[in-house]
Amino acid sequence: MNRQIVKLFGLIVVLFGVLVGFTSYWSVFEAEALKEKNANKRPLLEQQQIERGRIRAADGTVLARSVPKGSGDNLRYVRRYPEGALFGHPIGYSFVEEGDSEFEQFHNDELVGEDSEFTSILDELRGKRQEGNDVVTNLDPEAQRVAMSALEAAGFGAVVAIEPSSGRVRVMASNPPFDPNRIPTELKELNANTFETPLLNRATQGFSPPGSTFKVVTAAAGLDSGVIDLESTIDAPATIDVQGQPLANSDGASYGAIPLESALTGSVNTWFAQLGEEVGSDTLFEYMDRFGFGSTPAIDLPDDQVERSGVYEGSDLLGRGDPVDVARIAIGQERLLVTPLQMAEVAAAIANGGRQMKPQIWSRVVDPDGRVTESLDPAEYSQPIDEETAATLTTAMEGVVDEGTGTNAAISGVPVAGKTGTAETPFNESCGGGDLNQAWFIGFAPADDPEIAIAATVECTSSFGGEVAAPIFREVAEAVLSGD
């Protein structure tokens, strides 16, 4: 019988080997996939036991903090947002049942103090509980407040303000806002509100045609590729024929042969449409790519909450070689859809001598002992145009504010460069089908030493960009400049 006993023991060894194999599979090899499962609430429950770090504005104002509930085994932390709806975008929210979004989601690892398994073992041996880090942002509460109240007065829309030299995001406002404190009780209602879509961050997800603000990109492509220079003139009649359809100036006037500066100041459609055709769609697409169109902006927000700007056919992005009406793209129409963040990046790139910086909301990470463990190292995203082109564009854009369509953006004593835009959006269902516009203003100030670049947009308005968006630019720019 001894032979059989040894064999039986062999079988037991194999069976126990299977147990070790399965345990390894669940606890190590399959662990990450299991943590992603919807039915698995453990990762969130465990995070809830960690005191998540605070999120602060640039001036130290607390935008999000965790408050303890219960004690002992039942101790858990719940998120509070002292500023309420003001920073609903772009801070987002983080709750166990409802999940997380925006800045809270993107910076989750820093906020919960996620370390590697090895360091957490060391912490455990030292009896240290996992603690979250604070994340300080570049956001300016005063300017954000100004932006929100200006938007609330004007209508639904968004404002993005970026420091051109560093890419620091100083303002990101979206109207209608939402109060993250109310997410646990109202998430369903907020999600169901498909008319106002308060959970949509219009600054990064709100699509609309850029209208005449896009002429800045067309001009940049024309200048930088050498198709035109500051003196080149193009004859701009009241109407031209493009692909069998008339394309007219908004004021119906004929301008004759004029250079770039006059064309931009008067926002002359027929001038830029012809420039677009001269530049050609391949070159225009190339410059759009350089400015970041067609790619997800390199901002510190979750990719699925940041849209790519570009020419869309349904949900597909068009590019070089696709059949498009380049003349109408050149004036910001056709199927071109952009986000306020993208347009702010265009303005910031021109302001920064053609060097486009990665837009970043965060500034530094501070550990529970008050040490700065990481801080933002501004990085260049691309150099879409050279310094000379940027300088020429700046001069032209100053003309827009000094004597053109953007005079409402002027700040006394500070030179301002900018461009208005008014896109007709007759098919926009959220405007109730009415004959309303998407109003835009992009620009930067001071024009000679730019500190802030801003894109402001208002949807479903009967006003023009110069009337409704330019004043928002001025108010926000003044708030940022006075705060520095």
Partner 1 sequence: MTARNRELTALVPVALLLTAGFTAVFAQESERLDNLSLIYGAYFLAVCLATHLYLRIRLPNADPYLFPLVALLTTFGLVMVYRIDADLARDQANWFVLGLLLFALTIHFLRNYDVLERYRYTIAGVGLLLLLAPRLPGIGEQVNGAYLGVALGPLSFQPAEFSKICIVVFLASYLREHREVLIVGARRVLGVTLPPLKHLGPLLVVWGASMFMLVFIRDLGSSLMFFTAFLALLYVATGRFSFVAIGMAMFLLGAWFFASTVPHVHDRVEVWLDPYATPQGSGYQILQSIFAQADGGLFGQGFAQGLITIPGTDNALLPAAQTDTIYALIVNELGLFGGCALVAVYLLIAARGFKIALLADDGFSKLLATGLTAVFAIQAFVIVGGVTRVIPLTGVTLPFVSYGGSSIVANFVLLALLLLISDRARREASAPAPGGLALEGGR
Tokens representing 28?
A: 């190590």
Instruction: Give the DSSP letter string of 396-423.
Output: HHHHHHHHSTTGGG-BTTB--EEEEEEE
**Which parts of 381-420 interact with partner 1 (CB under 8 A)?**
none
3 binds partner 1 (CB under 8 A): yes
Residues 27-56 that bind partner 1 (CB under 8 A): 27-28, 30-31, 34-35, 37-43, 45-46, 48-49
Which one of residues 121, 257, 372, 379 is an interface residue with partner 1 (CB under 8 A)?
121
How many residues line the site for partner 1 (CB under 8 A)? 49
8 A C-beta contact, residue 385 and residue 223: yes
- Which of 68, 70, 82, 434 forms a contact with partner 1 (CB under 8 A)? 70
Decide whether 19 or 67 has the Cβ nearer to partner 1.
Answer: 19
Q: What is the 3-state secondary structure (H, E, C) of 251-293?
A: CCCCCEEEEHHHHHHCCCHHHHHHHHHHHCHHHHHHHHHHHCC
Residue 32 CB, shortest distance to partner 1, in Å, is: 8
Kindly state whether residue 15 participates in binding partner 1, applying the rule CB under 8 A: yes
Q: How far is the CB of 318 from partner 1 (least distance, A)?
A: 40
Round to whole Å and give the CA distance between 89 and 158: 10
Binding mask 349-388 for partner 1 (x = CB under 8 A): ----------------------------------------
Residue whose C-alpha is closest to residue 52's, from 95, 9, 87: 95
- Spell out the residues 6+ positions from residue 71 whose beta carbon is closer than 8 angstroms to its own: none
Stretch that binds partner 1, among 24-32, 147-155, 163-171, 355-363 (CB under 8 A): 24-32
Out of 12, 153, 372, 379, the only residue in the binding site for partner 1 (CB under 8 A) is 12
Smallest CA-to-CA distance from 402 within 475, 481, 470 is with 470
Is residue 440 within 8 A of residue 213, CB to CB? The reply is yes
DSSP-derived 3-state class of residue 139: coil
- Return the number of the residue (18 or 372) whose C-beta is nearest partner 1: 18
Provide the CB-side half-sphere exposure for 280 (13 A, CA).
Answer: 8
Stretch that binds partner 1, among 18-26, 135-143, 424-432, 467-475 (CB under 8 A): 18-26
**Please, how many CA atoms are within 13 Å of residue 393, restricted to the half-sphere of its CB?**
33
Q: Which stretch binds partner 1 (CB under 8 A): 55-63, 65-73, 314-322, 381-389?
A: 65-73
Nearest CB to partner 1, comparing residues 45 and 153: 45
Cα 297 to chain centroid, rounded: 7
Q: How far apart are the C-alpha atoms of 55 and 170, rounded to whole Å?
A: 15
Helix and strand element counts for the chain (H, E): 18, 22
- The whole-angstrom separation of Cα 161 and Cα 169 is 6
Q: Which of 60, 72, 226, 244 binds partner 1 (CB under 8 A)?
A: 72
Tokens of 377: 């190292």
Among 117, 231, 429, 484, binds partner 1 (CB under 8 A): 117
Tell me the three state secondary structure of residue 390: helix
Least separation in angstroms between CB 117 and partner 1: 6
- SS3 category, 440: strand
**Does residue 128 interact with partner 1 by CB under 8 A?**
no
Nearer to partner 1, 51 or 300 (CB): 51
Q: Is 246 in the site for partner 1 (CB under 8 A)?
A: no
What is the smallest separation between the CB atom of 41 and partner 1, expressed in angstroms?
8
- The H or E element containing residue 444 is strand 437-445
Question: Which of these segments, 5-13, 218-226, 360-368, 403-411, binds partner 1 (CB under 8 A)?
Answer: 5-13
Place of tokens 């509460």: 141
Question: Do the beta carbons of residue 91 and residue 104 sit within 8 Å?
Answer: yes
Query: Does 9 participate in binding partner 1 (rule CB under 8 A)?
Result: yes
Does position 13 interact with partner 1 (CB under 8 A)? The reply is yes
Identify the residue among 59, 68, 69, 251 touching partner 1 (CB under 8 A).
Answer: 69
Nearer to partner 1, 69 or 229 (CB): 69
Give per-residue burial for 338-358: e unless 16+ CB within 10 Å, then b.
bbbbbbbbbbbbbbbbbbbbb
Taking CB under 8 A as the binding criterion, the range among 2-10, 142-150, 294-302, 309-317 that sits at the site for partner 1 is 2-10
Q: Confirm if 336 and 210 have CB atoms less than 8 A apart.
A: yes
User: Which of residues 60, 67, 73, 188 is near partner 1 by CB under 8 A?
Assistant: 73
Residues at the site binding partner 1, with contacts judged by CB under 8 A: 1-9, 11-13, 15-16, 18-20, 22-24, 26-28, 30-31, 34-35, 37-43, 45-46, 48-49, 69-70, 72-76, 117, 121, 124, 127
